């Protein structure tokens, strides 16, 4: 068999394998086909197929899914935070992409805090009062945490494991000094996911976050004691630890399909 014929058969075999296996990828689900917007990517690679693209995602720490631009054979990788923060998705101009996301249980639930700390204590207002389930908004009922004036002024809660924090609900003090929570930042693992800067104090507020991590922090940007009567986090548990399959079982499967196709086409060409 000539080298040109062998090259032709290999190209055809991989084309057939790609077309047969392209629309379904193990461990990923298709979010949308031909999407005009996509999550912000942290890496982009030119690859031969979306199967190879998914294999790349499986080897990259923090990769949650892929945006596959078939016309350009462009493989774009994105994180779980980029995927769930739909407001930040990038509009595509001319090309369209197929979006695949990792298969996870993304049912929103309350995330339990397993511990807490704060910048300092004042008048017995320990940090655990903010996560004890007591939502009374009166400090003198011993239901609210209270820092001193040691700067920076902050409260931080610990989640049991890596989680996608979708939102955070805060119950503010109402017997006094509610304006102390007029200007603060909400952070997850040191990344700001919400900036609060208001003129009229709130009683209860729900803040959208969509950030991955295990430490939820309120950082007061005023020189005032931080007082939180209750704080609740909502989202779902998620681990970025992916144990990639051998080079990739998907890639091995692709070679298997290609081999069957190549054998069939060789038999036809050689009339055997």
Q: Does 195 score more than 90 pLDDT?
A: yes
Separation in Å, CA 128 to CA 47, 159, 161, 175:
51, 13, 19, 20
- Residue 3 CB contacts under 8 Å (≥ 6 apart), including other chains: none
Cα–Cα distance, 120 to 107 (Å, whole number)? 35
pLDDT tens digits, 254-270: 444 444 444 444 444 44
CB 214 within 8 A of CB 236: no
Let me know whether 44 and 148 are in one domain: no
Let me know whether 116 and 189 are in one domain: yes
| Higher pLDDT pick, 106 / 247 | 106
Q: Which domain holds residue 204?
A: 109-237
Is residue 70 domain-resident?
A: yes
Let me know whether 163 and 212 are in one domain: yes
Is residue 15 domain-resident?
A: no
Is residue 87 domain-resident?
A: yes
pLDDT tens digits, 122-141: 989 999 999 999 999 999 99
Q: What is the CATH number of the domain that holds 85?
A: 3.50.4.10
Give the chain's domain count: 2
pTM, entire model: 0.70
């Amino acid at each position: 068999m000539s080298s040109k014929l062998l090259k032709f058969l290999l190209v055809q075999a991989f084309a057939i394998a790609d077309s047969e296996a392209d629309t379904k990828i193990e461990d990923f689900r298709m979010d949308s086909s031909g999407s005009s917007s996509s999550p912000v990517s942290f890496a982009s690679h030119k690859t031969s197929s979306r199967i190879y693209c998914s294999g790349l995602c499986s080897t990259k720490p923090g990769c949650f899914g892929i945006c596959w631009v078939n016309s350009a054979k462009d493989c774009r990788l994105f994180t779980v935070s980029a995927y769930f923060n739909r407001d930040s998705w990038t509009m595509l101009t001319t090309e369209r992409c197929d979006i695949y996301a990792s298969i996870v249980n993304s049912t929103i639930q309350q995330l339990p805090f397993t511990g807490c700390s704060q910048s300092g204590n004042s008048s017995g207002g320990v940090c655990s009062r903010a996560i004890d389930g007591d939502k009374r908004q009166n400090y003198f009922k011993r239901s609210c945490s209270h820092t001193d004036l040691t700067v920076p002024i902050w409260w931080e809660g610990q989640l049991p494991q890596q989680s996608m924090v979708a939102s955070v609900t805060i119950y503010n003090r109402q017997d006094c000094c509610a304006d102390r929570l007029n200007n603060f930042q909400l952070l997850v693992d040191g990344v700001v996911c919400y900036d609060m800067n208001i003129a009229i104090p709130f009683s209860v507020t729900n803040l959208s976050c969509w950030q991955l991590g295990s430490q939820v922090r309120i950082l007061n940007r005023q020189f005032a004691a931080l007082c939180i009567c209750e704080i609740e986090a909502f989202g779902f548990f998620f681990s970025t630890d992916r144990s990639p399959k051998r080079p990739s079982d998907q890639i091995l499967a692709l070679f298997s399909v290609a081999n069957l196709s190549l054998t069939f086409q060789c038999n036809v060409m050689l009339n055997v």
